[in-house]
A and B are shown apart, each in its own frame.
Chain A
Amino acid sequence: MRTVMPVLQKAKPVKLAGEGLSFASVSLPKQLRETKIVKDKSADDIAKEIVEWIKKIKTGRDGMLPSPILGTPTRRPSQ
């Protein structure tokens, strides 16, 4: 950095060619969570809910699926 910084400080400012580009909006993606907090639920009820969730995976929708514990993650395109 000792050698680079003086050179950087001498650099001439350049106008970036950003003309013609306009942003209508910039936002963070909305998170979709369906997490629920339930107290005093019996082990049988929890097991039943997990089985229902597994059945839903087998029968249906592709991609990312809702988890009863984590909620529904935001679907994002691949990087």
Chain B
Amino acid sequence: METILLLAHTETDGSLAKSAREALHVAADLHKAFAGSKLVVGLVGEDVQAAANSIAACPAVKYFGVAGKEFGQSRYATDAAAAEAICKAAQATIVVAPATSRWTRSLPGVAQRVGGRAETHVTGVSTDGGKITVNRWYYRQRMEAVLTRAQRPWFMLIDPGSQAACGCGAGRPRLKPLPLT
């Protein structure tokens, strides 16, 4: 059974960018397509409660957060450590994240750390007969491929602007903070 993790980082004002909501839309669609799958949200930033509140109406069952001053800005070491901790805590098999410069730099390394694979420049995710296929671009967007992978965890970095943004509403979910030393 798939555990789908939406991995997002907050903006400097603590909010979630549109690209994060687009990735959430993909994650929620995957969750809907696979009966029995779990949707989990992982957030990284200086303070992640406001971001979690803003997407509380999404069908996620758990919220993990790595928060602190050092996670407020982009840095490979802290971003990778935070993402790795969330992936391990969530026991994610599918990780959906926006292809921001911050995640594009760090998540392929995280995939290596957790023994998974990463797909960058993903512009579409579909499910066909219980199989997940992704559309992605290669060679500086000159070739498009449709592919599937058996390895898990599978990281998908969704190109901003390629998906509709999730319009789920606000609330107050229970956020589990993950301490990192």
Contacts and interface: CB of A to CB of B under 8 A. Distances in A.
B119 to A, nearest CB: 10
A53 to B, nearest CB: 24
Nearest to A30: B144
Interface residues of B, number: 22
**Most chain-B CB neighbours within 10 Å: which of A20, A23, A25, A77?**
A77
B22 to A, nearest CB: 11
Nearest to A20: B150
B148 A78 contact: no
Contacts, number: 54
Given A20-B150, A20-B151, A24-B148, A77 B143 contact: no
Contacts of A22: 147-149
Given A20-B149, A21-B149, A77-B121, A26 B143 contact: yes
B141 A27 contact: no
Interface string B3-23: 000000000000000000000
Interface of B: 117, 121, 123, 133, 137-138, 140-151, 159-162
